[in-house]
Amino acid sequence: MLYDDIIRLICAEILDGPGDYLAIQSNLLSLGLASRMFLNPALDALWNRLESIEPLLLVLPETALVNGKKMFLRPIAPSSWVRLHFYTSRVREFCSDWELPAVHDSVYAYLCQGRPIFPKLRTLELHHHLCTSDSVTLFLTPSLRVVSWPMEEGDASSDLGPSLAVLVSKSPRLRSLTLTEYTYSGLSLSLRRLCALEYLSARCPYDLEVNFVQAIAVLPKLTNLDLTLPAGVLDYTGVESGFPSLTKIVLRGSSSDTRRFLAVARPPLQALFIDWTFDPVMDQSPGQADIAAITHLLPSFPFLRELLIDGEALLLLPTDLDELQLWSIFEPLLELKRLEYLFYQIPLPVSDQKTVRIASAFPHLKGLCLYHSAGGLSSLESLAHFARHCPDLKTLRYPIELQTANPSTMFPRTLSPHPLHTFETKGEPSVMNAPAIALGLYQIFPNLVVVGGWDVAIGGNSSWRLVNEILRNRNRHLEK
């Protein structure tokens, strides 16, 4: 005898299986009609996700199409309410379709009568046209846990603050909230009431209130923050003891605002992603002193496992910075001994000696990406330090000198084959030294699957193809 949970797994497989939307819906319907035992699980799968309320109006005889839009012509009968709730009680996700539904605005207000129409809704993603106070009430229920408000960016002058206040009052147990580029009056007050919030994405920098940081710093369960910083607006007074649970931050903004945030916030961070933009106050990209001030703050987060430093503004650093200045920006990161993933887009001089320091500083490294070299390059032989000091490294993007590879060099082997499977470097070898590079890489990293150059043009007779072919042939030979 099939149990209910097994039947639900079967329905989930059909829902996620191949085929077009109508065929999948037809298969689920056929399964549900085959036996009473299958009916409820099949209906739950069919109605699990909605992209419009139009399918619900099809079960109500009180609606009709007027001037191209569905609307009510008479009050909903009690029996129709029962039929409607039979389906809406199965909806767990409501994600607005990109196109405006052919539904009159009065329908949303009318359906808000009585008890919540979606009593078990957990995920809500609405477009701007449904985020008004009249429409949004239809979807609000205490069961909500994930909300995107609204899904798309739009007119920053549109104030969705009143709608957000209604959301918080009706669904106070939210765990995830995404706010896009609109105005939210009373935002700080609304956020303070979300004591169960774990994830917050606020990409609405234009009208963030001065006390915004104080409001989110007291949220006891906030672990993941994605924040676009407004220029010189936020007040950080009293934030030093805030963010008790924050482990991941994504910061977008100018170097000055990023530095101010990191200087006062001391959460137990494990992941930090920094995306620098132009400083709108100074009307310039960050300078060496700005970036160095931030990287020197990073050792105060000793539990960091992931660090990403990105941003197009970094490419506009002064070109006259010498190797010593560029290295002084990076050097504080060597204190982050727990790092597992490092993505670093600031130009960095790499020599054999510096490669030793980088490899030995991060014994737990699983992924390393250094995008822009400056000054001299390290040798192919220096990669052996990563094999020796970083036993868990899986992916490596590191600038090396390609033209001096020595095919006769024998590299010291580790006790077990190193697990690195992907390696990229800057530039492209010549056809003449491609075999030497393939041999050298294989000796250091025998499990390599993909090698290449990240700035090599697509197409043409790439020497990296030859390197990859040599490695594949060697691996096939060993397998035999």
Q: What is the pLDDT of residue 26?
A: 81
Query: What is the pLDDT at residue 130?
Result: 82
Q: Give the confidence band of 214 by pLDDT, cuts at 50, 70, 90.
A: very high
Q: Residue 315's pLDDT is what?
A: 62
Confidence of residue 119 (pLDDT cuts 50, 70, 90): very high
Q: What is the mean pLDDT of residues 44-73?
A: 89
Length of the chain: 480
pLDDT score at 459:
47
Each residue of 281-308: pLDDT tens digit? Answer: 544 556 667 788 899 999 999 999 999 9
Residues in Cβ contact with 312 at an 8 Å cutoff, skipping those fewer than 6 apart: 277
Contact 177/149 with Cβ under 8 angstroms? yes
Give the residue among 283, 289, 349 at the shortest CA–CA distance from 318.
289
pLDDT of residue 296: 93
Percent of the chain with pLDDT strictly greater than 70: 87
What number is the average pLDDT over the span 430-453?
89
**CA-to-CA distance for 357 and 390, rounded, in angstroms?**
12
Contact 257, 232 (CB under 8 A): yes
Mean pLDDT of 171-194: 92
Q: In a 3-state reduction of DSSP, which class is residue 34?
A: helix
Average pLDDT of 117-131? 89
The distance of Cα 316 from the centroid of its chain, to the nearest Å, equals 26
For residue 405, the one-letter residue type is A
Q: Are 192 and 174 in contact (CB under 8 A)?
A: no
Examine residue 150 and say whether the peptide bond preceding it is cis (omega within 30 degrees of 0).
yes
Which of the four pLDDT bands, split at 50, 70 and 90, describes residue 146? Answer: very high
400 C-beta neighbours (distance < 10 Å), count = 24
pLDDT at 37: 81
Question: Which segment of 73-82, 99-108, 218-227 scores lowest on mean pLDDT?
Answer: 99-108
The torsion region of residue 239 among left (phi > 0), alpha (psi -120 to 50) and beta comes to alpha
Residue 246 has pLDDT above 90, yes or no: yes
> Residue 398: pLDDT above 80?
yes
Picking from 364, 408, 369, the residue whose alpha carbon sits closest to that of residue 389 is: 364
For 8, other C-beta atoms within 10 Å of its C-beta total 16
- Percent of the chain clearing pLDDT 90 (strictly above): 41
Q: How far is CA 478 from CA 38, 411, 471, 474, in A?
A: 52, 19, 11, 6
Look-up of token digits 């949970």:
5
> Is the model's pLDDT at 120 over the cut of 70?
yes
Task: Give the residue, 461 or 306, on which the prediction is more confident.
Answer: 306
pLDDT digits (tens, 9 = 90+) for 186-208: 999 999 999 999 999 998 766 68
Q: What is the pLDDT of residue 282?
A: 47
- Residue 337 and residue 362: Cα distance in Å, rounded? 5
Q: Which amino acid belongs to residue 474?
A: R
Do 382 and 358 touch, CB atoms closer than 8 A? no
What are the beta bridge partners of residue 329? none
Q: Is residue 177's pLDDT more than 50?
A: yes
Count CB atoms within 10 A of the CB of residue 16: 9
Contact 19, 27 (CB under 8 A): yes
Q: How far apart are CA 59 and CA 344, in angstroms?
A: 56
Q: How far is CA 385 from CA 258, 334, 357, 380, 444, in A?
A: 34, 15, 9, 10, 9
Q: Which segment of 94-98, 286-290, 351-355, 427-431 scores lowest on mean pLDDT?
A: 286-290
Instruction: Give the residue-averaged pLDDT of 323-348.
Output: 92
Tell me the DSSP string of 156-196. TT-B-HHHHHHHHHH-TT-SEEEE-SSB-TTHHHHHHT-TT
Per-residue pLDDT reduced to its tens digit, 1-49? 557 778 788 888 888 777 777 777 788 878 887 777 888 888 888 898 9
Q: Which stretches of 17-150 are DSSP H helices?
A: 21-34, 36-46, 54-57, 78-88, 105-111, 133-136
Burial class of residue 242 (count of CB atoms within 10 Å of its CB; 0-12, 13-18, 19+): buried
Q: Once rounded to an integer, what is the mean pLDDT over residues 446-468?
A: 79
351 three-state secondary structure: coil
Lowest-pLDDT range of 157-166, 362-371, 454-463: 454-463
CA 107 – CA 91 distance, rounded (Å):
18
Helix, strand, coil percentages in the chain from 3-state DSSP, rounded to 5: 35, 15, 45
Q: Tell me the average pLDDT across 93-118.
A: 82
Burial 120-158 (b: 16+ CB within 10 A, else e): ebbbbbbbbebbbeebbbbbbbeebbbbbbbbeebeeee
Residue 242 has pLDDT above 90, yes or no: no
At 173, which amino acid appears? R
Model-wide pTM > 0.95: no
